[in-house]
Amino acid sequence: MTDTPTTLYVVRHGESVSNQKNIIAGQVDVPLTDKGREQARQTKLALKDVHFDVVYGSDLQRAIETREIIFGAPIPADHQKTTLRERDYGSLTGKPGAHLQAMHKVLLGLPDAEIRSYKYVPDMESDDEVRARFIGTLEALAQENSGKTILVAAHGATIRTMLMRLQNLTYAAFPTGSFKNAGYVKLTYDHGHLVVEEVAN
């Protein structure tokens, strides 16, 4: 538990090649597009008055590029965390985005409690699994960096599931795909709790 509140800015990467082609990337390593790099530069401008003491993020290239654009310097390899990666979509990885749209139609007929553990294919991560590893990692980073301001570059599904948990949002109110490229969430961590302070989406 921290003695001094810690601030975290959790940013989704800019548009990737897979986003552009509407392909499910999951944990496949793909770069940003030129549009994605420009989106990251716009987020850097939005956060120009924030001093980041330390930077972490997913070890996937689209997240690495995004945070290096925003931070303005290379990020140490040991600050690249596999636990901050995008959802593992299992056998859906590499398939057209239409497969996710089909999954969403199935989810609309289920209560939220079932959706959290639902897997459209057996080898994908559920929302509960994504949320547990992502929030757990953020809490650990906050504890290790008490009182500091942290930049974290991550992915759409991880940020969305986190927000749903921290803000008690329903799936109807915050469906898949709702969190946009290069959007960010400002969090504070104090007395063992993450609190959402701002959502710039």
Please report where in the chains the tokens 């299992």 appear, as a residue.
Answer: 90
Choose the catalytic residue: 15, 65, 79, 86.
86
Full 3-state SS string of 91-145:
HHCCCECHHHHHHHHHHCCCCHHHHCCCCCCCCCCCHHHHHHHHHHHHHHHHHHC
Contact 18, 30 (CB under 8 A): yes
Active-site residue flag, 198: no
Please, are residues 158 and 56 in contact by the beta-carbon 8 Å criterion? no
CA-based diameter of the chain, in Å? 47
Catalytic residue, candidates 13, 79, 125, 155: 13
Q: Is 86 a catalytic residue?
A: yes
Whole-number Å distance between alpha carbons of 112 and 170? 7
Kindly list the distances between the CA atom of residue 170 and the CA atoms of 18, 70, 123, 142, in Å, as whole numbers in the listed order.
Answer: 27, 31, 24, 26
Report d(CA 30, CA 3) in Å as an integer: 39
Catalytic residues: 13, 86
